[in-house]
């Protein structure tokens, strides 16, 4: 029996579909599903999906 998607408190990622158009990894969707069931931007076609993007630079210049 098929079940619906679980509700998530997080918004789905917003891929740039023009970059995803010819991607063979995500098949043009711009997102992939991880093994634990989370939506993430495709690491192949979406720029800026590295871990350094998730941590904002809060250091103030002296």
What does the pLDDT read at residue 49?
Answer: 53
16-61: per-residue pLDDT in tens?
999 999 999 999 999 999 898 888 999 999 987 554 444 444 555 5
CA 38, 41, 43, 45 dihedral sign is positive
Q: Which of 16, 22, 21 is nearest to 46 (CA)?
A: 16
Instruction: Supply the pTM of this predicted model.
Output: 0.60
- State both tokens at 40: 């993430």
């Amino acid at each position: 029996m098929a079940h619906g998607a679980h509700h998530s408190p997080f918004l789905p990622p917003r891929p740039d579909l023009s970059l995803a158009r010819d991607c063979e990894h995500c098949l043009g969707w711009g997102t992939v599903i991880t093994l634990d069931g989370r939506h993430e931007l495709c690491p192949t076609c979406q720029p800026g999906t590295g871990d350094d993007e998730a941590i904002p630079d809060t250091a103030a210049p002296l």
